Structure formats: C-alpha cells, structure tokens
Structure 1
Amino acid sequence: MDMKLELVAVPVTDVDRAKDFYVKVGFNADHDRVVNADLRFVQLTPPGSACSICIGEGLTTMRPGSIEGLQMVIADADATHQELKERGVEVSDVDEQPWGRFVYFADPDGNRWALQQLPAWSTGAGGDGVRPDAEG
C-alpha cells in the first residue's frame, strides 16, 4: 500500500503576508482561491517537492505559529543559506550535526522550518547508510 504525504496545513494570521513570504523563500504559488466568505485556500509547493503546504482562512483550527519541525532536504546548506539571505529571509547559520547540515528559518507567524543537507554516508545522499563513526 502506498501512502504519499501531499499537503500540510500551516496556520497563519495574515494569508497575503504568509503567501508573500513563502514565495520569497522560493515556493511556487500553485492555487489561491476564495471559495466563499469563510474559506480561502492557498497552496504553495517548495521547488522539487511532491508535498505542498496550504495556508488560508477556514482551513484549520491550529494556532498560527504553532507548527515546528517542518523539514525539507536540500542539496547544499551553504548555497541555500546564502540564497535565502540574498532573498531577504532571516535564516540561521549552518548548523553542523553528525546526521546532516541544517539551516533554520521561521515564517512571519513563527512556524519553524529546518532545511537538511543529508550527510554523504546516508542512503538519501547516495551512500551506504552506515555512519563512518557508528559503533558496531
């Protein structure tokens, strides 16, 4: 049985401000529809991703800014860090961890994202999945 995560709701206070922010980060603005007076649906997709986010009005009861731990995989943490800074996104320094290199940012409401450059040894990066310093 296949199960594919394709859409994640992200709660925001100001839909237009959030949409502008995510487009600045590099997301594609796929849809923006006002369905009725109580429902607006905006779908945005990160470049290269099969999963999108949705923001809007009437979509969720989650508190704006309450999402943390959203994570995307990137090819190069240094290049991504530099590009986001050039786009005017407030982004952390590159965080070196044994399981990857990370860059962090938050949207205007405080929803927090992690961008991970996989380590060369990981299967996702073409490695054998065995961490060189792993104990036997």
Structure 2
Amino acid sequence: MSETCTEVLTVAVPVTDQDRAKSQFERLGLRTRLDAELQPGFRWVEMGMAGGGATLSLVRAGEELPAGINTGIRLGTPDARAAHAAVRELGFEVGELLDWETAPLMFTFRDLDGNRFYITEVGSQNS
C-alpha cells in the first residue's frame, strides 16, 4: 500500500491580531515563509524555523476557530533551562520547568491570545 500522506506541513493557530502574533513568534526565532491575502479578508501568515520542517500558520480567530486553545504544539530547543528564562524575558506567560527523570526537560508557555504551546529539550539524555 502506498503512503497517502508523507509529512506534516503546517498547523493553524488562531490569533486575534496576526501582526502582533507574527512579531511575537519572530522573537522566538521563527521566520515568515508566507504572508499574503489569499482572498479578500483571508490573510495567511506562515512561519517556520530556519532549518525547515513543519510551519505554524497564524490564522485569524473567529467563532469557528477561537483563540485561547491548547495547541498541543511542541517546539524543540537544545537547552530548556535557557529557553525557559528567555521566553519569560520575552513577556510570555511561562509555566514551570518540568524536570522528570524519565522525560526531557520541558515547559509550557502561552502567547498573547492565551494559546498554549510546549517547549521540549531535544538531544538530551532523556529525550
């Protein structure tokens, strides 16, 4: 049987202000891949890491796609302790640094719309 799907391309994140959200994610190191009005009133802002991979699409929140969700999105970092401090300094609401013996270091943060994201240390002995 052939593969129907071969990769994750993008995940939509509902935001109330696409420019504000774009600026906030740029401070985390994401870069704009596409920013265009695809049809009247429908702007698509796609952001990703410099090295490629899946992207975040910052879409305008609405009744059918409200902001303030638990996105389930995990972002990777080589140093979760440093990232925890840096994300807090950038003004995000940051959760506790979870240091479990059986899992990599990780923590949550919320963007300006209250959307929850996760940052997990990659390349550590527990990951």
- For Structure 1 versus Structure 2, the TM-score category normalised by the shorter chain is 0.7 to 0.9
* CA gap 1:51/1:89 in 2 versus in 1, 3 angstroms: same
* CA gap 1:58/1:113 in 2 versus in 1, 3 angstroms: closer
TM-score (norm 1): 0.75
- Please name the residue that 1:132 is paired with: none
Shift of residue 77, structure 1, vs aligned partner: 0.5
- Please name the residue that 1:70 is paired with: 73
User: Whole-Å Cα distance in 1 between the matches of residues 85 and 52 of structure 2?
Assistant: 20
- Please name the residue that 2:22 is paired with: 19
Q: Does 1:114 align with 2:118?
A: yes
Structure 1 segments, 4+ long, off by >6 Å, are none
Q: Which has the higher strand share?
A: 2
SS in 2 for 1:21: helix
The RMSD of aligned alpha carbons is: 2.5
* CA gap 1:121/1:57 in 2 versus in 1, 3 angstroms: closer
Say which one has the larger Rg.
Answer: 1
The answer to whether the 8 Å contact 1:77/1:116 transfers is yes
Count of aligned pairs between the two proteins: 122
Q: Which runs of 5+ in 1 are unaligned?
A: 123-136
Percent identity between the aligned chains?
27
User: Whole-Å Cα distance in 2 between the matches of residues 10 and 60 of structure 1?
Assistant: 14
User: Whole-Å Cα distance in 2 between the matches of residues 72 and 10 of structure 1?
Assistant: 14
Q: 1:28-84 CA deviation, whole Å, 9 max, x = no partner?
A: 122111233221110011343501011134899321122332112221111212332
User: Whole-Å Cα distance in 2 between the matches of residues 21 and 30 of structure 1?
Assistant: 15
TM-score (norm 2): 0.79
